[in-house]
Amino acid sequence: MRVAVGLSGGVDSSVAALLLQQDGHTVECMFMRNWRADADDPHCHAEQDRKDAVAVAGRLGLRFHLRDFSAEYLREVFRHFLDEYARGRTPNPDVLCNREIKFKVFLQAALALGAERIATGHYARVRETAQGFELLRGADRAKDQSYFLHQLGQYELSRTLFPLGAMHKPAVRALAREHALPTQAKKDSTGICFIGERDFRTFLAQYLPARPGAILDSAGRRVGEHPGSLYFTLGQRAGLGLGGVRGAGGGAWYVVGKDVAVNTLIVAQGDVARWLDARTLRALAPTWIAGHAPADVFTCQAQIRYRQPAQECHVEIDADGCRVRFARPQRAPAPGQSIVFYQDEVCLGGATIEASDAVFGGLIAPPPLRPEPAAMSSQQ
């Protein structure tokens, strides 16, 4: 079989290419340039990743292709990312990148080269049944990436191979060392690819300028000032700069809500569970691996963030999305993030969180709170 591997310049996709070659497939490699950075940008590692991908292809004797998908990425992924943050939401660009770039544009480019399948270094599995194709968790639960793949459908899964799905990361590293792959000791990439290791707020301010505003406590009292409400997410405690607030204890402050309309953050300290914990949430635009929901009403497990242990829940489907009730309270469901549904190891699909029954945390615009005049501020 002719297979095109998305070779990222990391160890996982390198070993994926090796395994496919060992299985007797005709393997070709494609490096996707998804982000156009300035030549002097020290935070973007795309050029080094390209060089590493070329080195791996050379080591394995595989044909190498480079494709520039940066225009598609800007249009389909990055603009959505900025629009969501401007609305006060917390998007997940990795989910959209998989749907729009790796399993759409890359798939189309691979098929145009004559490939029958594509392959990536994701830790996930595909299983074919009499009813169609299923997306399964990776065997290595610590690395499982099915959460980010939940918007794939039957067509994409029918054309995709995940060679690492049954492997654990230490074995992947060992195989890379055994075959002297140039990426054998390369550090795993983390975070959002186009931000890299730079300060998130500094990066975002290049596109969404800072607009300072009031920080209010849960009673509406002004306790400080923020550089821009859209730079903060629910449950966040770092970067608030709150200290010495008159009448407050020494405990940490957490973001428990945000009102983008009036550019305020709502914070609380101490036991913030009553502000952030939610039993029920509303999610929109669901997508299902099978092409349809399991039923109008069903029970399953779900995750509202990556690497969260699966949580038991009850799901009710309606015309616009679904209502999810959890068996236990969930901390800070963030509008814009994905909720992904599972039946044990099978990923059913997912949806985008819209709101929850947390007092402030689930609302994009909580009940209006107006900052006190500066002269009335309780901050020392």
Active-site residue numbers?
Answer: 97, 193
Report CA 250 to chain centroid distance, whole Å.
33
Amino acid letter, 75: R
The pair phi, psi for residue 53, each rounded to 5°, is -65, -40
Tokens 């798939």 belong to residue? 107
Instruction: Return the structure tokens found at 75.
Output: 């249009």
CA gap 370, 275 in Å, rounded:
18
Instruction: Return the structure tokens found at 206.
Output: 């290049």
CA gap 73, 28 in Å, rounded:
23
Q: How far is CA 335 from CA 55, 67, 332, in A?
A: 41, 33, 9
Contact between 254 and 272 (Cβ < 8 Å): yes
Beta strands in the chain (DSSP E): 2-6, 26-33, 63-68, 117-119, 124-129, 132-137, 160-161, 213-217, 222-226, 253-259, 264-269, 277-288, 297-303, 311-317, 321-331, 338-343, 346-356
Per-residue DSSP letter, 250: S
Helices (H) then strands (E): counts for the chain: 10, 17
